[in-house]
Amino acid sequence: MVGMPENAALSVGDLVELDLTGIAHGGVGVARHEGRVVFVADAIPGERVRARITEARKKSFARAATVEVLDPSEDRRPHIWPEAGLERDPAERPGGAEFGHIALPRQRALKAEVLTDALRRFGGLGTDALRDLGGGVLQVESLPGDAEAEAPGLDGTTHTSAPGLGYRTRVRLHVDPETGEVGPYAARSRRVIRTASLPLAVEEIGWIAPLDEAISEAEAVDLVSPSADDPRMLVSYPGERRRAGADDPVRESVGGREFLVRAGGFWQVHREAPVTLFEAVRDAILELAGSDRFDPGAANLDLYGGAGLLAAAVAEAAGPGLRITTVESDPGATDDAAENLADLVGALTVTARVDRHLAELRAAAAPVRERLRRGTVVLDPPRSGAGGEVCAGLGEVAPANIVYVACDPVALARDTATLRELGYTPVSLRALDLFPHTHHFETLAVFLRD
């Protein structure tokens, strides 16, 4: 490549040597090739790699996948999923464990970098604000059982346990339309990849996963392993309105409390995620209550409430006098929430889109609006975030506090900018590694009305 002009065109299939200088949202490394940004899969910042160009349509950037590491990071590990290792052609590697070649502490450091960068660039937060929020440097916390630790073996020697594996209680696999073979998609592709194992899934999912079978005419297979119930498989067929078994109730146990959830409904994926988020939201409410900012009798809201997990967490902090309304667009999940919150006299469950519900609340009578102003909102939107319209709706309803549970750092950062414009200040932030060996993580941010 020596002597080529600046921005020389890269073509799919080209092999290039790249120095990784950073990490981008989505879990890909960042490098430059003759002025053009290249997003590189399966690399680690600081490494020099040989990579194959996989996408070169855009002028401003290209994509590549690592095929050989020339100068490895000390944090490089054998991939936790053998089929996703560098020995395979990039197009044949299953997606879904894009950090599986990185030591867990470094994975978390990279996630913290992505969060800090997003809050700075899209959230408008400066260095001081970020330091105050994270209580120093922002850290991504591991969940119980996931810290990379040396555990003493039975014979007195030490061995490294397998942290960060066997945690997913929900797994979606896809079906090859031609062969009926079942497996995950390859990264950034709709190609079904055969795999012998699912290392991120709980053991029970391994028992039932149809990895060496063919299911003709099906589209996808969801594997569900509830914490207090038998594992099950839901098969989707094209054109079908409702999957067989999707509405069957399954039992989930969260810190001794039981929740009923439809097998096909939303539930937090990591086996420790429900209890971790329950406790994180409960503690955030206790903290607000400790500074007299939480009013259990106000019109409190659990927006994007699912089966009522986080409303129950608020109730644990607030006690039996709590008034709270969960708002959720899936009617099945609302029914589950009604069941799960039945012991809470002041709980109401509503099936509605959050934007529409907020529009209705804005038009409510003055005493209701006053109760909403004194209230606390728990906000747990899907990956796209709450977005401008919902944030604007919140700005008008103007609750005293917002406890935002976010699964996408950039969406959170954008919503942070909007909420700040509407008079809210973020006062605390916790990041939780709910998805080891992937680039995903969860953030809990508390905002106070100025």
Nearer to ligand SAM, 306 or 426 (CB): 306
Asked whether position 333 contacts ligand SAM by CB under 6 A, the answer is yes
Nearer to ligand SAM, 309 or 432 (CB): 309
Rounded to 5°, angle at Cα 188 from 416 and 415: 5
CA gap 37, 419 in Å, rounded: 32
| Smallest separation, CB 293 to ligand SAM (Å) | 21
Q: What is the number of the residue whose Cβ is closest to ligand SAM? A: 306
| Smallest separation, CB 351 to ligand SAM (Å) | 9
Q: Which residues contact 404 (CB under 8 A, 6 or more apart)?
A: 379, 380, 386, 412, 415, 443, 444, 445, 446, 447
Question: Please, which of residues 69-128 interact with ligand SAM by CB under 6 A?
Answer: none
CA 52 distance to own-chain centroid:
29
Joined tokens for residue 146: 């996931």
Asked whether position 259 contacts ligand SAM by CB under 6 A, the answer is no
Give the end-to-end CA distance of the chain in Å, rounded to a whole number. Answer: 56
Question: Please, which of residues 339-378 interact with ligand SAM by CB under 6 A?
Answer: 353-354
Q: Has 328 been labeled as part of a binding site?
A: yes
- Given a contact cutoff of 8 angstroms between Cβ atoms, the answer to whether 381 and 361 are in contact is no
Q: Has 185 been labeled as part of a binding site?
A: no
Asked whether position 441 contacts ligand SAM by CB under 6 A, the answer is no
Q: Which of 42, 252, 272, 330 binds ligand SAM (CB under 6 A)?
A: 330
Q: Which residues contact 66 (CB under 8 A, 6 or more apart)?
A: 40, 41, 42, 43, 49, 50, 51, 86, 90
What is the set of active-site residues?
Answer: 407
Nearer to ligand SAM, 133 or 269 (CB): 269
Joined tokens for residue 34: 């003759």
| Smallest separation, CB 270 to ligand SAM (Å) | 12
Size of the site for ligand SAM (CB under 6 A): 17
Which runs of E-coded beta strand occur in 214-254? Answer: 220-224, 232-236, 249-254
Nearer to ligand SAM, 51 or 431 (CB): 431
Per-residue binder mask for ligand SAM (CB under 6 A), 378-397, x = binder = --x-x---------------
Q: Which of 116, 142, 195, 268 binds ligand SAM (CB under 6 A)?
A: 268
3-class SS string, 94-138? ECCCCCCCECHHHHHHHHHHHHHHHHHHCCCCCHHHHHHHHCCCC
Number of Cβ atoms within 10 Å of the Cβ of 314: 26
Q: Has 107 been labeled as part of a binding site?
A: no
CA gap 128, 26 in Å, rounded: 26
- Given a contact cutoff of 8 angstroms between Cβ atoms, the answer to whether 183 and 211 are in contact is yes
DSSP 4: P
Is 307 strand, coil or helix? coil
Nearer to ligand SAM, 274 or 395 (CB): 274
Question: Please, which of residues 290-329 interact with ligand SAM by CB under 6 A?
Answer: 304-307, 309-310, 327-329
| Smallest separation, CB 406 to ligand SAM (Å) | 9
| Smallest separation, CB 305 to ligand SAM (Å) | 5
Q: Has 304 been labeled as part of a binding site?
A: yes
| Smallest separation, CB 172 to ligand SAM (Å) | 15
CA gap 368, 378 in Å, rounded: 18
Joined tokens for residue 21: 């200088």
Asked whether position 447 contacts ligand SAM by CB under 6 A, the answer is no
Asked whether position 403 contacts ligand SAM by CB under 6 A, the answer is no
| Smallest separation, CB 109 to ligand SAM (Å) | 25
Look at residues 434, 436, 381 and name the one whose alpha carbon lies nearest to residue 410.
381
Asked whether position 269 contacts ligand SAM by CB under 6 A, the answer is no
Q: Which residues are annotated as a binding site for S-adenosyl-L-methionine?
A: 268, 304, 328, 380
Q: Which residues bind ligand SAM (CB under 6 A)?
A: 266, 268, 304-307, 309-310, 327-330, 333, 353-354, 380, 382
Q: Which residues are annotated as a binding site?
A: 268, 304, 328, 380
